[in-house]
Structure 1
Amino acid sequence: MDTILKTASVLLFMLPVWTGATQQTSFACEHKTPVQVNCPEYHVINVIDAFYGRLEKDRCGWNKNDHCKADNSLSIIKENCQNENSCALEASNRVFGDPCRGVVKYIKLDYECLPAETVTGEETRTTFACERETPERVQCPDHYVIEVIDAFYGRQEKDRCGWNANDQCRAENSLSIIKQNCQYENSCLLKAHNSVFGDPCRGVVKYIKLDYQCVPIEQERVAIACEHENDVTVTCPDGYAMFVYDGFYGRDDLTTCYQYEQTKTDCIASGSGRKLWELCDFKQTCELRARNSEFGDPCKGVRKFIKMFYGCLPNYY
């Protein structure tokens, strides 16, 4: 991964490497030599908290200004370090901007080294992005991608991102928008803004909540496109191509693409699996169009869908 720093500006006083999940705190002073932050092999950095500025009078020399913090510093440090085995930092105005001119600033980094399998296994992780704050970057390790478990934009807690009595506010389309941005990507940016989701509750500070897992790129996935809805774009990361295991156009359950009561679950368009294979196999991206004009109509009056089982494999064959 690209490092934050190329030139001068930090002295990071590192504590010894730990293999457990014990929280560590390190400091990096402005105008000092750059330093690499490392976790042991098969471990990754989990950023607990971080900032660039000054919140102590006697850290990195003395200064009476102890209320100076760059607004975007946590997200920048997370973008560089989160879920990485190592990362480099630069305590520099060039990276973070200058929140207090004439004051020597520093980076404070609270982190832990986690075994990689706890990040990339079945554990669900949760991240938040607050409205009116710097967008939050979600990052999985190399060769892993984000699988969205659940997400919304709105407010479901009174004391998240400040306090508000309204805790029943949720944008209806937020899950699909967040999925479109993050699903099966190595990283994505969460921008909590009405321009993205609309405003489900005027005058209330809202936030994004994202529950996700980091899964191997090669893991089998399912793509679904519903009849009478927009086409669905299926994409693998750069350097990977789709391998289509199976698929169909029709209906095999009562709940997928639910709109009104369905009674038929044995409706499969003849040859639809082969058409999906011809459309998507060995491609980095393809469009799924759930339409009778594409596959024929195996059951009139029944709302149908495409269900395609596929994986993303390295594109070297």
Structure 2
Amino acid sequence: RPNTNIQSTSCASTSSNEIIKDACQGQNGCRLDARNSIFGDPCRGTPKYIYMSYTCIYPTCSNPIPTVRVICERQRRIINCGTGKRIGVLTGFYGRTNKLTFIAIRCPSRAIRSSRCKSRSSFRRIHNTCHGKQRCAITATNTVFGNPCNGTYKYIKMSYVCY
């Protein structure tokens, strides 16, 4: 609908690509809300929208597509590749890299003091827990990974393939 409050016709959030990539890359689907609380407000007084292009990639036997899994703090999830397949951990961290993950994944807390923190031992711990196994259980807690940012609700984000 037309809006007479448009103050600027050329503005973009500087973190939008990172936020969209974090929420959508490697997922079978994703949902994004065009809100200032997520992307910031690069042009005050102007209604904003998300414009993005994407390519869906179907997995093939010779080149498996990574699965991205987000596990919210205080949650436990099972990663299972099924009979005859093993987990190959590609990336993994425990902490927080943006404000969007709460909204996109529906984690139950809004306590975010920092959106730039990461446990130094997180990849090693995730790798040691799951890599090369058919099935593993991951728990996202400060007890396991330490507390890289006090007062911030954290999550594990990992990518893996089944081979």
> TM-score per shorter chain, which class?
0.5 to 0.7
Root-mean-square deviation (CA, aligned residues, Å) is: 2.3
1:95-106 correspondence runs (5 A): none
User: Which is higher, the Rg of structure 1 or of structure 2?
Assistant: 1
Structure 1: gaps spanning 5 or more residues: 1-146, 151-212
Please give the alpha-carbon distance, in whole angstroms, between the structure 1 residues aligned to 2:29 and 2:116.
28
Please give the alpha-carbon distance, in whole angstroms, between the structure 1 residues aligned to 2:160 and 2:119.
19
Please give the alpha-carbon distance, in whole angstroms, between the structure 1 residues aligned to 2:117 and 2:162.
28
Higher RCO (Cα < 8 Å, 6 or more apart): 2
Q: Displaced runs of 4+ in structure 1, greater than 3 A?
A: 147-150, 213-217
Residues 3-44 of structure 1 deviation map (CA, whole Å, 9 limit, x = unaligned)? xxxxxxxxxxxxxxxxxxxxxxxxxxxxxxxxxxxxxxxxxx
Structure 2: gaps spanning 5 or more residues: 1-26, 31-56
Between Structure 1 and Structure 2, the one with more strand by share is 1
Give 1:148 deviation, angstroms.
5.0
Q: Could you tell me which residue of structure 1 aligns to residue 110 of structure 2?
A: 260
Please give the alpha-carbon distance, in whole angstroms, between the structure 2 residues aligned to 1:227 and 1:277.
18
Give yes or no for the alignment of 1:226 onto 2:106: no
Give 1:261 deviation, angstroms.
5.4
Q: Could you tell me which residue of structure 1 aligns to residue 137 of structure 2?
A: 287
How many residues are aligned here? 105
Give 1:279 deviation, angstroms.
0.4
Please give the alpha-carbon distance, in whole angstroms, between the structure 2 residues aligned to 1:261 and 1:295.
18
Residue identity in the other structure for 1:219? I
**TM-score computed with the length of structure 1 as normaliser:** 0.31
Residue identity in the other structure for 2:74? H
Please give the alpha-carbon distance, in whole angstroms, between the structure 1 residues aligned to 2:140 and 2:151.
14
**TM-score computed with the length of structure 2 as normaliser:** 0.57
Q: Could you tell me which residue of structure 2 aligns to residue 273 of structure 1?
A: 123
Paired-residue identity, %: 31
Q: Could you tell me which residue of structure 2 aligns to residue 299 of structure 1?
A: 149
Between Structure 1 and Structure 2, the one with more helix by share is 2
Residues 189-229 of structure 1 deviation map (CA, whole Å, 9 limit, x = unaligned)? xxxxxxxxxxxxxxxxxxxxxxxx96446211111110133
Residue identity in the other structure for 1:222? V
